[in-house]
Amino acid sequence: MKLEVVFLGTSSAVPTRVRSLPSLAIRREGQVVLMDCGEGAQGRFVRMGLGLNREVLVLITHLHGDHVNGLLGLLQTMSMSQRVRTLTMVAPRDLLGWLEVTMKVMHIGLPFEVRFVPVRAGVVYRGKDFRVRAARASHSVEAWSFRFEELPRPGVFDRERALSLGVPEGKKWSSLQHGRSVTVKGVRVRPDQVLGPRRPGRSVGYSGDTRPTRSLARFFAGVDLLVFESTFASRDSDRALERSHSTAAEAAALARDAGAKMLALTHFSARYKRPDALVREARRIFPETVAAHDGLVLEVPPADQ
């Protein structure tokens, strides 16, 4: 099963010719987890083939316009695409009031339900085989970071062991692989008799806008991919501190302290034509660093590969 992180917008507050406002999506077996929704995100959502009628979870880190102004347009486009499936949204509580007032003024009705969940620390969403946790970020307004986590997967199925226990290939194998016991000629066979050790799920962390903090380093501990804002280069660290953002070097230090496997820098200030210098600064601290760009797709491989 593929797990891909699709970068829809990688600029900060101001779009550039090559970078749109902040937004990214996790794509996984027909499911989409959208994190932030900057202006114009709906167009990039469609161009990247994310699917307007799929199961969609929307996570909003904070209520600055560059992270939410594309949300209304995305909902309208979903409506015009005859979406009927419920959409779940996790965001700061005040976003619901903004949506309700704006939709009323503009006479917008949706043919599908929006299930709104006010964000809080801890688990904010549970799917069939994944969950999302939230932790407070350190920004100029109420802000949150998110961690997407797959649940542990069953161990590798031992075909020879199953056959030796008399389990014929077919539906009973499938039941065992999904954690259900089966009965063969009156004898009960348990999944743990034919499955290896459980395999850890994959995880993706997303910072939103924030200063680096020790609590975030703990929150992102061991993630397979950490997507962290790197608005400024080290030479502009005073601006990062003043505006409650991070430098690329600070993002790298947090990824190192968290024990992340890979770091993707994003949310670049428009003052930098190219992110090369920021990447160099980060790689001196955390070598497994890449610079995100609009349209980039990063696959997160299973832990056992």
Which ranges in the chain are annotated with CATH 3.60.15.10?
A: 4-153+199-299
Give pairs for 124-130: CB < 8 Å, separation 24+.
Answer: 124/59, 124/90, 125/57, 125/88, 125/90, 127/31, 127/57, 129/201, 130/28, 130/201
Catalytic residues, by residue number, are 66
Residue 255, token pair as written in the block: 């990824």
Distance, in Å, from the CA atom of 51 to the CA atom of 92, rounded to the nearest integer, reads: 25
* pLDDT tens, residue by residue, 196-208: 888 899 999 999 9
Return the minimum-mean-pLDDT range out of 50-64, 111-125, 146-160, 260-274: 146-160
Distance, in Å, from the CA atom of 230 to the CA atom of 225, rounded to the nearest integer, reads: 15
What pLDDT does residue 199 have?
A: 83
What pLDDT does residue 305 have?
A: 53
Topology annotation, domain 4-153+199-299: Metallo-beta-lactamase; Chain A (3.60.15)
- The answer to whether the CB of 205 falls within 8 A of the CB of 223 is yes
Radius of gyration of the chain measured on its C-alpha atoms = 21
pLDDT at 222 over 70: yes
Q: What percent of the chain stands above pLDDT 70?
A: 99
Q: Is the dihedral of CA 115, 33, 76, 144 positive or negative?
A: positive
* pLDDT tens, residue by residue, 253-296: 999 999 999 999 999 999 999 999 999 999 999 999 999 999 99
pLDDT at 81 over 60: yes
* pLDDT tens, residue by residue, 44-79: 999 999 999 999 999 999 999 999 999 999 999 999
Amino acid at residue number 281? E
Reported as a pLDDT band with limits 50, 70 and 90, residue 29 is confident
Residue 295, Cβ neighbours under 10 Å: how many?
15
Interior angle at CA 109, CA 105 and CA 112, nearest 5: 145
What pLDDT does residue 302 have?
A: 86
Q: What is the mean pLDDT of residues 226-250?
A: 98
Q: What is the mean pLDDT of residues 139-152?
A: 97
87-117: b or e for each residue (b if 16 or more CB lie within 10 Å)?
bbbbbbeebeeebeeebeeeeeeeebebebb
* pLDDT tens, residue by residue, 92-102: 999 999 999 99
What pLDDT does residue 155 have?
A: 84
Distance, in Å, from the CA atom of 15 to the CA atom of 245, rounded to the nearest integer, reads: 17
Residue 233, Cβ neighbours under 10 Å: how many?
22
What pLDDT does residue 304 have?
A: 63
pLDDT at 241 over 60: yes
DSSP 71: H
pLDDT at 6 over 90: yes
pLDDT at 2 over 80: yes
